[in-house]
Amino acid sequence: MNPIDEATVWSALREIKDPEFDLDLVALGLIYAVVCADARVGVTMTLTTPHCPSGEWIYEGVRTKVAALPGVAEVSVDLVFTPPWTPDRLSPEARRQLGG
């Protein structure tokens, strides 16, 4: 089994769309970091607000998507609110799509 790499994880996270904005989590700037160590993957992420109505769905989507990747034996998802998410974290494409 080949070890997982960060680029593969980032690519998988781009497949998860926020149900409210129909933009992927990476474009929204919700993923702060991905760290791979052998078959273990750690993801640090946030939500647009601490009380995001889709928060549990997004969190579980990240955990499930990463866990399903070949070469992943263990996943930890750290949901943080420091630093807080701001629209400055949007990718240029997401900014255009949201009219900003």
pLDDT digits (tens, 9 = 90+) for 24-43: 999 999 999 999 999 999 99
Identity of residue 83? P
The pair of structure tokens assigned to 66 is 């990463």
Q: How many domains does the chain have?
A: 1
The pair of structure tokens assigned to 77 is 């998802």
- What's the confidence (pLDDT) of residue 53? 93
- The reported pTM is 0.94
Per-residue confidence band for 93, with pLDDT thresholds at 50, 70 and 90 = very high
Q: CATH number of the domain that 84 lies in?
A: 3.30.300.130
Please spell the DSSP secondary structure of 28-61, one letter per residue: TT-EEEEEEETTEEEEEE--SSTT-TTHHHHHHH
Residue 79 lies in a domain: yes
Residue 98 lies in a domain: no
Is the pLDDT at 1 greater than 80, yes or no?
no
Residue 50 lies in a domain: yes
Domain that holds residue 49: 6-88
Mean pLDDT score across all residues of the chain: 95
Is the pLDDT at 80 greater than 80, yes or no?
yes
The sheet that has 40-45: what strands, in order across it?
31-37, 40-45, 74-79
Residue 96 lies in a domain: no
Per-residue confidence band for 21, with pLDDT thresholds at 50, 70 and 90 = confident
